[in-house]
Amino acid sequence: MIMDSARTIEKIPQYVAPFLWSYDIAALDFERDKKRIVVNVLNFGTKEATDWLFSVYPKEEIRKIVAESLYGEWNKKSLYYWRFVLGISTQLKTSRFS
């Protein structure tokens, strides 16, 4: 469960579920699975799904996840788009040890 300024978000909406197709939506935890939720929704989500994402997580948290994600986790166009939108340099991590 995550607190959004005026409400508590307890579950992932049906319109976001298709972008987390390989996960049990009921078992996802907003904090523990934050990186997976952010990466999948930004990679594959619709405008409605990305708007939801930005209402659930602070922009700075999303920015940090995108900046620290590995290149192989992303669709190339999505990654470059979100890095541009979030003002992140184009230098990419190619290994979790770099």
In tens, the pLDDT along 14-45 reads 999 999 998 998 899 999 999 999 999 999 99
d(CA 72, CA 94) in angstroms, rounded, equals 7
Give the pLDDT confidence score for residue 3 in this predicted structure: 46
Position 6 pLDDT exceeds 90: no
φ, ψ (nearest 5 deg) of residue 64: -65, -45
Residue whose tokens read 């770099």: 98
Place 5 in a pLDDT band, splitting at 50, 70 and 90: very low
The pLDDT tens digits of the residues spanning 42-82 come to 999 999 999 999 999 999 999 999 999 888 889 999 999 99
Q: What is the pTM of this model?
A: 0.81
